[in-house]
Amino acid sequence: MSKDLSAPLLRTARLLDLVPYLNSNQGISVQDLAKDFGVSTAQINSDLTTLWMCGLPGYTPLELMDLEFESGYVTIRNALTLSKPRNISFDEGLALMLGLELLQQQIPLERKDLQTKIELLKDRFANQIGVPRAVTVSLAINPAIISPLIEAINASKDVEIRYHSLYSDEISVRKIAPLAIIEEDENSYLRAYCRNAKALRVFRVDRILSLSELDVELNGADTSMDLIDTDDIESEKIPYTIKIKQPTRDLVERFNLDHLFGENPKSQELTVELSSFSREWIQRAVLATGSDVELLSPPELRKEIANRAQLLLDRYA
């Protein structure tokens, strides 16, 4: 519901929610309050001033809420009527229920105590909130990889991983000191110091096939580096141009041409300029379209694609 609320209604909702929040977080700073509510401090100050004027009918000083600002810190008194938080809406309940499910998958199975506890909470709220049990969610990343990985990062322990490099289609085993998980472009990446390459590397978390702990303490590796410094990819983007003979959903998704969605570009030949970090990827992607796409440039990749096609044809002859 609240995504389409008008500005005054959004603000009313915020005022109603500010009271119980202040009530439970007495003495909170205006900065923290602004951060927690996702608005500017000027906005919070103006909200608090408005709240100051609100209260029970009668509007004598006794009936108004007491707000105290003391050098940037806020306390509230006399807020009895609004002291409890508002009920949760359907979308909030949904976030909570599905969040519990995601959480359950991240917690190691050995932690039976927590697993049971979450199961109980889910049962308890399913009816109350009215979220159908047929709505389920699972982690995009294998929990058997992610939870030991995070443990290793926190404990500064080395791990050994089996990693699938998609573009070169190779599986390698590496000893790494995992440093941090970075979220970018809808994917999770692991930044790590690779003991084999003796350099910093970035791995796609979903391509780590298995992981085992090594009992070695990590000794200070430099953690500052760019995302692009991985094994898979070159350091600079390679521009390329393709001619699409007949746009299809597969092509749009493979080459990330989302802007073509909904434009109804039916049966229209079109030329698109794109770029990629990997030559290998460009060649494989063009081949995989099965002649729905022609690579126009760069010429050396064009030639390479022709060579590959000839080579493959010979093998099928």
User: What part of residues 185-214 is at the interface with other proteins (CB under 8 A)?
Assistant: 186-188, 206, 209
Is residue 248 a contact point for other proteins (CB under 8 A)?
yes
Nearer to other proteins, 223 or 297 (CB): 297
Is residue 136 a contact point for other proteins (CB under 8 A)?
yes
The distance of closest approach from Cβ of residue 294 to other proteins in the complex, given in angstroms and rounded to an integer, is: 4
Q: Give which of 119, 131, 122 is closest to 94, Cα–Cα.
A: 131
Alpha-carbon torsion, ordered 297, 301, 303, 306, to 10 deg = -100
User: What part of residues 261-280 is at the interface with other proteins (CB under 8 A)?
Assistant: 261-262, 264-266
- For helices 143-155 and 90-106, what crossing angle results, to 10°? 70
Out of 226, 250, 269, 273, point to the residue binding other proteins (CB under 8 A): 250
Out of 32, 92, 160, 213, point to the residue binding other proteins (CB under 8 A): 92
What SS3 class is residue 99? helix
Is residue 123 a contact point for other proteins (CB under 8 A)?
no
What does residue 294 show for φ and ψ, rounded to 5 degrees? Answer: -115, 130
Out of 25, 29, 41, 156, point to the residue binding other proteins (CB under 8 A): 25
Q: What would the two tokens of residue 47 be?
A: 């909200």
User: What part of residues 103-122 is at the interface with other proteins (CB under 8 A)?
Assistant: 103, 106-107, 114, 117-118, 121
Q: What would the two tokens of residue 54 be?
A: 């609100």
The distance of closest approach from Cβ of residue 246 to other proteins in the complex, given in angstroms and rounded to an integer, is: 8
Out of 27, 72, 85, 239, point to the residue binding other proteins (CB under 8 A): 85
The distance of closest approach from Cβ of residue 165 to other proteins in the complex, given in angstroms and rounded to an integer, is: 10
In eight-state DSSP terms, residue 259 is G
Out of 94, 221, 225, 272, point to the residue binding other proteins (CB under 8 A): 94
Alpha-carbon torsion, ordered 289, 294, 297, 299, to 10 deg = 100
The distance of closest approach from Cβ of residue 213 to other proteins in the complex, given in angstroms and rounded to an integer, is: 15
Out of 238, 252, 272, 274, point to the residue binding other proteins (CB under 8 A): 252
Is residue 238 a contact point for other proteins (CB under 8 A)?
no
Nearer to other proteins, 199 or 239 (CB): 239
Is residue 298 a contact point for other proteins (CB under 8 A)?
no
What does residue 28 show for φ and ψ, rounded to 5 degrees? Answer: -70, 150
Whether the bond between 298 and the residue before it is cis, its omega within 30 degrees of 0, is yes
Q: How many residues lie near other proteins (CB under 8 A)?
A: 122
For other proteins, which stretch binds (CB under 8 A), given 11-19, 69-77, 219-227, 229-237?
11-19
Nearer to other proteins, 27 or 199 (CB): 27
Out of 42, 62, 109, 137, point to the residue binding other proteins (CB under 8 A): 137
- For helices 112-129 and 90-106, what crossing angle results, to 10°? 160
Amino acid occupying residue 84? K
What does residue 135 show for φ and ψ, rounded to 5 degrees? Answer: -100, 115
Contact flags string 29-68 toward other proteins, x per CB under 8 A = -------xxx-------x---xx-xxxxxxx---------
User: What part of residues 140-169 is at the interface with other proteins (CB under 8 A)?
Assistant: 140-141, 146-147, 150-151, 154, 164, 169
Alpha-carbon torsion, ordered 23, 27, 33, 35, to 10 deg = -130
d(CA 276, CA 257): 13
Q: What would the two tokens of residue 65 be?
A: 């809420």
Q: Give which of 138, 255, 141 is closest to 188, Cα–Cα.
A: 141
The Cα angle at residue 165 between residues 161 and 169, in degrees rounded to 5: 125
